[in-house]
Structure 1
Amino acid sequence: MHIVLFDKAEWRIGLYPLALTRPVADLRVGILTIAEKWAKWLDASYSFLTEDYLQEKYPLGHLSGDILLVRGNCCPDNRLVDAALALRTGEALWYGEVLIASRVVAETLQHGKLPSLAGYSPIYYHHPVVMINHPEDIFLQNGEQIGQDFNRLTKGRQSAILSESNRFIGDRFFAEEGAQAECATFNSTRGPIYLGKGSEVWEGSLIRGAFALGQNSQVKMGTRIYSNVSIGPYSRVGGELNTCVIWGRSAKGHDGYLGSSVLGEGCNWGADTNNSNLKNNYKSVRLYDYSQAGYRDTGLQFCGMVMADHVRCAINTAFNTGTVVGVGASVYCTGMPPTFIPDFSWGSAEGFSAYRLEKFFETMESVYERRNLRFDDVEKRLLAAVFERTREYRRF
């Protein structure tokens, strides 16, 4: 079976700026991305049906036969997977007025558009569905999703053996081949702990589950990880982390607090950078919402920050409660910047200006080269499209 995870523009925008650079199903929550979850549950390949400017990097591919079409912001569980698998061609699974899944023939997707389901037989699903509608849903659901992914990834398998210099409290621990740790404490009584292939936990780190560390990522010496934390692949973290998700290929390598937050890909936090996740008056936190071009009350008392891909900030940056930082932004001096920093902007607490795209590309060339990656034309075209789409938010 092949799965196609689809986006729709009207609900993608609620997940900006995180979804500006990727299909919604490529967002990470738990150990895996949403797309990887469906592939693991169904033992299937997958691709994306998304907006045109993203499709080159995330191709639909050559399709044939029956296809399971799945809403890209829905996380699978046992009952939802069973309901989706039970669909026959020409049937669609609905959760109220929300389309969850449908069994379609490949020819209906030939033009890269969501097919009309007029005439499809509706099947109604009456159980709860975990849907990622807003950025804060990612960190709110993260602990539960780590647990589900952990069970799926480790079932019937044995963990790699780590050094006896470590201390283990609880038995919900799993390390993939090549994972290493020395003189660290792992407490899995509150949630599982998963170390990806080739990952490292350095001396003196204190880790409480639920926690997931991606492939070839590192936890630096003396790091404190409280719970509900996911670090994607090829990342490095230090300091304090609590209830947060880092997509991957990002660096928060120094002291400083990150909590109730989501960071994208390719971000770099300067030393001693911190974010607040609780207001002084204990009132609910507002986040900038692209769909409203203004602030939305999250109803949450604890809500830190949302940082999109390719963001850099200087040492000692202090991010206020409920800060949203757009794609490619650069915060280059100390102080407390505004709670909305538009995509491709450059500046400090004293003010921001537009980041010229050619200058941004020059920086990206250096960043990719340092990581032994190639900043290719596909990536440039995608980011140029994001630059144009977000021009209206840069009111400098």
Structure 2
Amino acid sequence: MKTLYLLEPENPGAAWAPFAGAAPLSELRAGAWRLRERWERALGARTRGIVASHAGVAHPGAPPIIDGTTITGPAWVVDVTYAPRLPMRAIGEAHRLLHGGRAVAWRLDAGERWQGPFDSGNGRVIEGIPLAGAADLVTALEEFLFTDTLAGLESGTDPIPAHAIVLGNPGAIALRGAELEPGVVIDVRKGAVILDEGVTVRSGTRLEGPLWAHPHTWLLGGAMRHLSAGPHCRLHGEISTSVFAGHANKSHDGFVGHSVIGSWVNLGAGTITSNLKNTYGSIRLDLGSERIETKRTNLGALIGDHAKTAIGTLLSTGSIIGAGANLFGAPRAPRNVPPFAWGGDDDTPLRADSFIDVAKRVMPRRGVEVSADTEAALRAMHRRLTER
């Protein structure tokens, strides 16, 4: 199998808030797959390391963060701010993969050392989406999830229970060790539905494709459409066109739309995102003195890893909730909440020891023990994001 290295921006910038600095961007989902997984599938390769100085320490279970100067061929080095469309066309003996006049991947021959992106060598144009920031992950979901789920059907399915209500072609459903209670509605008229090993779907749930629930995710009732979620998520209520990273919680009522939800997020009962301005105008992201024009009409919230909202929290269009933030108090949260904020408006961040204490209560509930290495990674994340 080919060797793959992932190249991230040294300074991703405000457009990648609230995820930059918390973990490698390559662990974010673009469609059904993480950016790392998309490149692995595109090239038939396995990732050996991530060049991501902004993150410092990788997520537990992710490939290690490395110094780019240690990379030696044969290998591919790819830009994770580009999401390739799958399946990728044959690339032959290309040394560079190109999109929009720029290189997004580079091939090193045996013994060749990585010295940075290069402009020489045979190039092959590929299809995909350049990602200027976190909001573009919603665009990637819209563009990719339909074909990602169709490709997912090729791995086969368990028998569909007779008590499931299917709208459309049952051949567009793949169940792989999933459990469905009676009365679940699966609508595949607009896209396929994939339910992986350990997925549980409770009565009163309506699933509309394209939708992919990754392993051990529980869908606990409500209407869910155009969704990529898991592993180990707990979801309930109305959810539309959103990505939930692993171990996220939304176990109660409340609308989440056109949003990107990080790992270990907990949304309290009645948390609601707005994803459309009253004017139907383009949504801007306000990041202190910097404003980013997304050119999107629909955009909900971008919520960083380990963030939590209280019951009844209201999130405006284009809200950015920093990693580790704990929102409570006024129902309407600020549009830009800094990392580890305590209450939303408080300038004093949650202390590292308090953050670790919470993580030690939360993570074992999903079978993840906070080892010494994990605690060190969490403390490093807290330090990076609060010392900026």
Same fold (TM over 0.5): yes
1:180-199 correspondence runs (5 A): 180-182=179-181, 183-199=183-199
Matched, 1:75 2:103: no
Q: Distance in 1 between matches of 2:111 and 2:360?
A: 39
> 1:351: how far off?
4.2
Question: Which TM-score applies when normalising by structure 1?
Answer: 0.87
> 1:175: how far off?
2.8
- Relative distance call for 1:379 and 1:106 in structure 2 (3 A) is farther
**1:389 — aligned with what?**
384
Structure 2, unmatched stretches of 5+, are none
Q: In angstroms, what is the RMSD of aligned CA positions?
A: 2.6
- The Cα offsets for residues 220-265 of structure 1, whole Å up to 9 and x where unpaired, read as 13x111x321112100100100111101201101000001111000
**2:36 — aligned with what?**
35
- Relative distance call for 1:212 and 1:193 in structure 2 (3 A) is same
Q: Distance in 1 between matches of 2:166 and 2:14?
A: 42
Contact 2:242–2:259 (CA<8 Å) still a contact in 1?
yes
SS across alignment from 1:70? strand
Contact 1:94–1:122 (CA<8 Å) still a contact in 2?
no
- The Cα offsets for residues 48-74 of structure 1, whole Å up to 9 and x where unpaired, read as 322241359531689775111121132
Identity of aligned residues (%): 24
Q: Distance in 2 between matches of 1:196 and 1:20?
A: 30
> 1:105: how far off?
4.1
Contact 1:257–1:275 (CA<8 Å) still a contact in 2?
yes
Contact 2:216–2:230 (CA<8 Å) still a contact in 1?
no
> 1:78: how far off?
5.5
**1:16 — aligned with what?**
17
SS across alignment from 1:300? coil
SS across alignment from 1:306? strand
Q: Distance in 2 between matches of 1:56 and 1:23?
A: 7
Contact 1:47–1:60 (CA<8 Å) still a contact in 2?
no
- The Cα offsets for residues 148-207 of structure 1, whole Å up to 9 and x where unpaired, read as 22233332x431113211111122533343111121111111111111111011102112
**2:93 — aligned with what?**
86
1:349-388 correspondence runs (5 A): 351-388=346-383
Q: Which amino acid letter does the alignment assign opposite residue 391 of structure 1?
A: T
Question: Which TM-score applies when normalising by structure 2?
Answer: 0.88
Q: Distance in 2 between matches of 1:250 and 1:323?
A: 18
Contact 1:169–1:188 (CA<8 Å) still a contact in 2?
yes
325-334 vs 17-26, which deviates more? 17-26
Number of matched pairs:
378
1:93-242 correspondence runs (5 A): 93-96=97-100, 98-105=102-109, 115-117=115-117, 120-121=120-121, 123=123, 125=125, 128-155=127-154, 157-171=155-169, 173-182=172-181, 183-221=183-221, 223-225=222-224, 227-242=225-240
Q: Distance in 1 between matches of 2:316 and 2:59?
A: 36
174-183 vs 205-214, which deviates more? 174-183
Q: Distance in 2 between matches of 1:96 and 1:24?
A: 21
